[in-house]
Amino acid sequence: MPEDLIMRGQTVSGGQETLNFGGRTPGYGYQITELSIYPSLSLGTSNVELFASVTANDIGMDPLNVNFDSPGLIATSNYSTTYTGAYSSDRATVINDLFIITQDLILMTTDTEGGDPINWQCRFRKVKLSSSAEAVANFNQFTIYDG
């Protein structure tokens, strides 16, 4: 059975978090399998429009202006609700689950409606790597991060 790693937290709108992979086990990497975002305040009583991005770059990517041409984009997600006496919601997430993660990632969030903090959760699957595959993954992520 695969080993999963879950990172979760709450980030201020417009803020960023470092998803730390510094203590990882040599010979292993991770693949992202989930990015979920959810409001923290005014649930069911107001409109909500949330955005998040996860990147392998040294700086985060504005989740309102994601660039799918960027090799450092790992995941992006949006969540919206409309409250007009009735409650409806919509969400979309795009994940590059083939990217092997061996170094820290940057998560950025934005709430365009109220600027409230955003709850988030990322799930990663641990994958065994040969020494050559680990070297390639490290090099790829380093060149994205440094480039």
| pLDDT at res. 102 | 87
Which band of pLDDT confidence, cut at 50, 70 and 90, is reported for residue 64? very high
| pLDDT at res. 133 | 86
Closest CA to 5 of 39, 26, 28: 28
**Contact residues for 5 (Cβ-Cβ < 8 A; gap 6+):** 30, 123, 124, 125, 126
Q: Which residue range forms the structural domain that includes residue 74?
A: 4-146
For 26-51, the pLDDT digits (tens) are 888 999 999 999 988 766 667 888 99
Position 87 pLDDT exceeds 70: no
DSSP state, residue 101: B
Which band of pLDDT confidence, cut at 50, 70 and 90, is reported for residue 1? very low
Position 88 pLDDT exceeds 50: yes
The pLDDT mean for the chain works out to 86
Which band of pLDDT confidence, cut at 50, 70 and 90, is reported for residue 81? confident
- Based on the structure, what is the number of domains in the chain? 1
pTM beyond cutoff 0.85: yes
In this prediction, residues 93-107 reach a mean pLDDT of 91
Closest CA to 44 of 11, 106, 87: 87
Structure tokens at 15: 């803020």
How many other CB atoms sit within 10 Å of the CB of residue 92?
9
For 3-13, the pLDDT digits (tens) are 889 999 999 99
CATH code, domain carrying 96: 2.60.120
| pLDDT at res. 42 | 67
Higher pLDDT, 87 or 51: 51
